[in-house]
Amino acid sequence: MSQDYRKTPEAIARLTPKQYLVTQEDGTEPAFRNEYWDNHEPGLYVDVVSGQPLFASTDKYDSRSGWPSFTKPIEPDAVTEKTDRSLFMKRVEVRSSGADSHLGHVFDDGPSEAGGLRYCMNSAALRFVPLAELDEAGYGRYRALFENQENAR
C-alpha cells in the first residue's frame, strides 16, 4: 500500500505555533521539556505534518539528551539528511522525505551495537501512534515490528 505523504496547506494550518516553528522554520524545542523525550510506550512516531511513519519505539533509547532519540528510521528512505552549518558548527539535519519537515539532527554518538547513530528528534515534529491504535490509524502493516513486545506482555 503506497501512501502519499506530502505537505498540504490544510496540514500546515493545523500545526500549533511550536510545531510550525520546528517543522517549517527549522526550530528546536527545549531539552527535557518536550512531549516524547521520556515516552516508553510501544508505538510509531510519525511526521506531524504528513503522517509519514518515521521511527518505531523499538529503536528508541534514552540518550540522556532530553530529546527523543532513535538508532534508525523505520525505513531508510523515510528521512533525508542535509548538512547544517548553523550555530557555527557542522551538523547533519534530518528531514522527513515526504513533507520535508525539519525533524532534528543525526549524530554519530549512538549505541555502537545498534549502528552508532543517534537520531535526535524534536517531539513537536512527531505524532505518537500507540501500538493499540496502529490498525485503526492506518498503520497496521507496522504491527510486526512489535511482535516481541506484544508476546512479552
pTM over 0.85: yes
User: Under CATH, what is the fold of the domain 9-152?
Assistant: 2.170.150
Domain boundaries, the chain: 9-152
Mean pLDDT of the 124-141 span = 97
| Cα–Cα distance for residue pair 149/153, rounded to 1 Å | 7
Q: Which of 49, 120, 126, 129 is catalytic?
A: 120
For residue 32, CA distances in Å to 7, 19, 52, 71, 84 come to 28, 16, 25, 19, 23
Whether 120 sits among the annotated catalytic residues: the reply is yes
Encoded amino acid at 113, one letter: E
pLDDT per residue over 8-59, tens digit each? 999 999 999 999 999 999 999 999 999 999 999 999 999 999 999 999 999 9
